[in-house]
Structure 1
Amino acid sequence: MKTAALLALAVTSTFALADDPPSQVGRIALTQGQVSISAGQGEGASTALVNWPVTSSNTVTTAQGARTELRIGSSAIRLDGDSSLDVIQLDDDNLRLHLHYGSVNIRIVNPEVLAGFELSTPQGRVTLQEAGRLRVDAGLRADTSSVNVFDGVAIVEGGGERLTIRAGRRADIAGPDLRTAPALADAFDDWARERDRQADAVLATRYIPREMTGYEDLDRYGSWSNDNEYGALWMPSVSSTWVPYRDGRWTWIAPWGWTWVDNAPWGYAPFHYGRWVQVNRRWAWAPGHHERRPVWAPALVGWVGGAGWNLNFNSRPSAGQGWYPLAPHERFVPGYRLSDDHLRRLAWQ
């Protein structure tokens, strides 16, 4: 079966002049209470599941009393209850967000993210001059947005003014006024800080880069080792009969097409990066040797069977009648256009 032809829908293989999709895709990392996500303007909202991919044009909304966390590599974006956030643009160079209402706590630790980061509200705009942590509120007070800077340096624009806000200070934008005051942390910020503390303590970053989305959950659900042939291996704490790419669902996400969403709380990084191998009759994830910002894939599987199979795929065309996890050195055959360089970066190394 491993030597059978890999069949993918409308396989385009490599196109030197293709417009590559973003190599960076975010993740719903946590939900508490009622959280929804929509794919774009005019698209209906659906329940936001853990491990659901987050990309440009998504809107994430929380009900009163709910919370959610989005992870994009090393960056964390958390929404408090009764909040709505647009992911306007998420790609290799940009992270542009719009907070319609509510509260968002953001932590950015990678200086490379700063140039493309922007958060807007109905009253103003925030960028970061230095990596750090901030909370932005919109509409908690009538026609007012507030920017609390806890770490780093932010640039706040609103009311026709532009101010530099340093750690420990707050900017309030209300109509034509832009005023400053001491920053005020609340229980939401304390919760976010504790989540960050846990992520900072993981051992996974000894084996994989922090820009690999989903790294922060692996330590709690498995163990790491080094293999002479494959290098770093992560083995999930599951039964001996467990098989990758079985407990989850396929969903259509443009521009990649059919994308795997795993049900396990840790099931993001191991299904969108690296390869799977069998060691002593158990499955282990081999992330390989990655560049600083690894390239995301919708699912690293091989397809068998013929196109036209429609079970559980509604009206979307399917790639084949079955799938299996790719092993190291097995070629990923995408069902979407890629340049040669992008495809090369998806190869296991």
Structure 2
Amino acid sequence: MKSKPTHSMRRTSALRLSLVASFLIVPATLPAQEQATDTAAETIATQPAVPAIPGVSQVRIVRLSQVNGPVELDRGNGKPETAFVNLPIIAGERLQTGEGLAEVEFEDNSSIRLTPHTSVEFTVLGRTATGSTTSTVKLISGSLYASMVKSKGTDVYSVLVGNETIGLTSASHLRIDATSTTASTVTVFKGNVPVTGSDTSITVNKNKTLTFNPSAESQPTLARANEESAPYDLWDKNSVDYHSARVASSLVGSGYSYGVSDLNYYGSFSNVGGCGSLWRPYLVSSAWDPYGSGIWSYYGGAGYSWVSPYPWGWTPFHSGSWQYCNGSGWGWRPQAGSWNGLANGPALRNINGPHFPRPIAPHPPAPGQPTLVPVNLKSIPVSHPATDGTFAFRGESAGLGVPRGVFNNLGKLSHNAEQHGFAPTPIGESQLRPGVALARSSEINPRTGVANPQSFRADANNSNRGNISNSSRSSSSYEGARNSSFSAPSHVSAPSPSFSAPAMSAPSSAPAASSGAHK
């Protein structure tokens, strides 16, 4: 007997049908487009010099897909700048977490996650003449997780730690720790991972840990992995589950499935007015404007690229087009072969609708000046957890402030907010993903930015604790919640709580104290 499709299955199927043409056709047309729109990435004036590799063109960009807490991106202009979700990352840039967490998503939906006080450099983000990709990340210090999708292609991923090269093979999942100057470790949760050095070559299998000296002064040792979980294992596992549960399986391996998980979670396709099938985010009305607020990010030769603050705001601002339907508002339509890369012009020119104020790119920055420029055409309300055990969904937030992967059915939960503009919604266990604890500003660990296990315990006295709280979000009254809104800061060269807090996707649970988080 065939089982009846669930709502989640039907929504994923609809997304797959709508996006598969857009993404699967892209690889056939992308090389020519990249020469037209992203070739300038090879001569980025504001980025560090990238060593030339024979047969490999540095034309790719990857996505900063999650930011929680203080994170900076060194773009080679002499001063690290505050990093925001959806920032494009190109070869030569360095990503550094302070007390925060970060995730970087590659084109095929593979990803790496950085724990606090971790620094990495993207030494190679290249594409060969045959279309395969080469990605090399140098772990300078700290710890990272890597989860790779299953692939039959010829793409190559690797992490450099000292003199060792760690291969990120198809379908592998691992943790790399380089917090010590005398001993680094590679712990494999899934797959077989090759580690090679100047005079060593070892394969680390599932549930094994390799310990080595980064300077190769001693022989590496291989042992069974410790069954006790590391502090961020559960955060990593929740992130892996989030991607695997929501990405359309037909798109995985197509080369351009990054960002699809967020489209699946934060919105859906529907027939909008007389405009046909469009994707729309939850928590919007006909008055919502997709370009009301955000950041211009400058790339020498390519110009400014638009960076959206919304947690889903990658794919709809780099491909397809936005269309306005009378009585319904804005929706996004995928289009085959429309990947825009760093070039922002096509995305803005493809807007089909009334003349709303459009963000205008500023002049290129002078040497040493910030390369990130804020836009404040319209303040965006922010959804957020409250101190009394409810979640305040805001009808114009378009998902801004809604933690990633926490709710079972975001569309159903946000319906009242869309109708009434504001809906404080009691959250019960049936509405949360199993094993998830929802964070409020008063429950954020001030050191790590990770939710404590006691989330939803009313504690107004502590409402100003934590590095993502602000006076309006942490207020125990809904009057404060109603006034909570997002505006890009007047400058972005230093961390700004009013900007970074909504853009964060808080980890869906506290660090695990129990064992076996990855089993």
Task: Place the TM-score, normalised by the shorter chain, in its bin.
Answer: 0.7 to 0.9
TM-score calculated relative to the size of structure 1: 0.73
Displacement of 1:227 in angstroms is: 8.1
Per-residue CA deviations over 1:242-272 (Å, capped at 9, x if unaligned) read 2233321222124422100112222111101
| Counterpart code for 2:61 | V
Instruction: State yes or no: 1:121 paired with 2:165.
Output: no
Residue 45 of structure 2 is matched in structure 1 by none
Residue 284 of structure 1 is matched in structure 2 by 331
Secondary structure, aligned partner of 1:131: coil
Secondary structure, aligned partner of 1:248: strand
Instruction: State yes or no: 1:167 paired with 2:211.
Output: no
- Preserved contact between residue 248 and residue 263 of structure 1 (Cα < 8 Å): yes
Show the 5 A alignment for 1:265-276: 265-276=311-322
**Partners of 2:361 and 2:234 in 1: CA distance:** 46
Show the 5 A alignment for 1:224-263: 224-225=269-270, 233-237=278-282, 238-263=284-309
Displacement of 1:30 in angstroms is: 1.4
- Preserved contact between residue 231 and residue 288 of structure 1 (Cα < 8 Å): no
Residue 191 of structure 1 is matched in structure 2 by 235
| Counterpart code for 1:286 | R
**Partners of 1:106 and 1:115 in 2: CA distance:** 15
Residue 102 of structure 2 is matched in structure 1 by 68
Residue 259 of structure 2 is matched in structure 1 by 214
**Partners of 2:272 and 2:149 in 1: CA distance:** 31
Which of 161, 180, 198 lines up with 2:222 in the alignment? 180
Residue 27 of structure 1 is matched in structure 2 by 63
Cα gap change, 1:101/1:315 in structure 2, threshold over 3 Å: closer, same or farther?
A: closer
Cα gap change, 1:39/1:14 in structure 2, threshold over 3 Å: closer, same or farther?
A: closer
**Partners of 2:361 and 2:271 in 1: CA distance:** 39
Per-residue CA deviations over 1:184-216 (Å, capped at 9, x if unaligned) read 442312211111111222265678967332222
Secondary structure, aligned partner of 2:171: strand
Cα gap change, 1:133/1:54 in structure 2, threshold over 3 Å: closer, same or farther?
A: same
- Preserved contact between residue 150 and residue 170 of structure 2 (Cα < 8 Å): no
**Partners of 2:232 and 2:182 in 1: CA distance:** 22
Secondary structure, aligned partner of 1:193: helix
Which of 122, 128, 150 lines up with 2:189 in the alignment? 150
Gaps of 5+ in 2: 1-32, 42-57, 128-132, 351-359, 367-519
**Partners of 2:40 and 2:225 in 1: CA distance:** 41
Displacement of 1:86 in angstroms is: 0.4
| Counterpart code for 1:251 | S
Q: How many residue pairs end up in the alignment?
A: 293
Show the 5 A alignment for 1:274-313: 274-281=320-327, 282-289=329-336, 296-299=341-344, 300-302=347-349, 312-313=362-363
**Partners of 1:25 and 1:268 in 2: CA distance:** 12
More divergent stretch after superposition (209-218 vs 157-166):
209-218
Cα gap change, 1:275/1:112 in structure 2, threshold over 3 Å: closer, same or farther?
A: farther
| Counterpart code for 1:141 | S
| Counterpart code for 1:313 | H
**Partners of 1:136 and 1:232 in 2: CA distance:** 43
Secondary structure, aligned partner of 1:190: helix
TM-score calculated relative to the size of structure 2: 0.51
Cα gap change, 1:153/1:286 in structure 2, threshold over 3 Å: closer, same or farther?
A: same
Residue 245 of structure 2 is matched in structure 1 by 201
Show the 5 A alignment for 1:10-49: 19=39, 24-40=60-76, 43-49=78-84
More divergent stretch after superposition (114-123 vs 223-232):
223-232
Cα gap change, 1:39/1:15 in structure 2, threshold over 3 Å: closer, same or farther?
A: closer
Instruction: State yes or no: 1:85 paired with 2:124.
Output: no
Cα gap change, 1:169/1:54 in structure 2, threshold over 3 Å: closer, same or farther?
A: same
| Counterpart code for 2:158 | E
**Partners of 2:250 and 2:276 in 1: CA distance:** 12
- Preserved contact between residue 214 and residue 269 of structure 1 (Cα < 8 Å): yes
- Preserved contact between residue 225 and residue 232 of structure 1 (Cα < 8 Å): yes
Per-residue CA deviations over 1:3-48 (Å, capped at 9, x if unaligned) read xxxxxxxxxx9979x95756642122112221100113x6310111
State, as a whole percentage, how many aligned pairs show the same letter: 26
More divergent stretch after superposition (209-218 vs 221-230):
221-230
Displacement of 1:179 in angstroms is: 0.8
**Partners of 1:120 and 1:143 in 2: CA distance:** 16
Residue 325 of structure 1 is matched in structure 2 by none
| Counterpart code for 2:256 | E
Cα gap change, 1:84/1:110 in structure 2, threshold over 3 Å: closer, same or farther?
A: same
More strand by share: 1
Gaps of 5+ in 1: 1-12, 304-309, 317-349
| Counterpart code for 1:122 | G
**Partners of 1:258 and 1:173 in 2: CA distance:** 43
Residue 307 of structure 1 is matched in structure 2 by none
Secondary structure, aligned partner of 2:168: strand
Cα gap change, 1:225/1:311 in structure 2, threshold over 3 Å: closer, same or farther?
A: closer
More divergent stretch after superposition (185-194 vs 226-235):
226-235
**Partners of 1:229 and 1:255 in 2: CA distance:** 40
Displacement of 1:183 in angstroms is: 2.5
Secondary structure, aligned partner of 1:136: strand
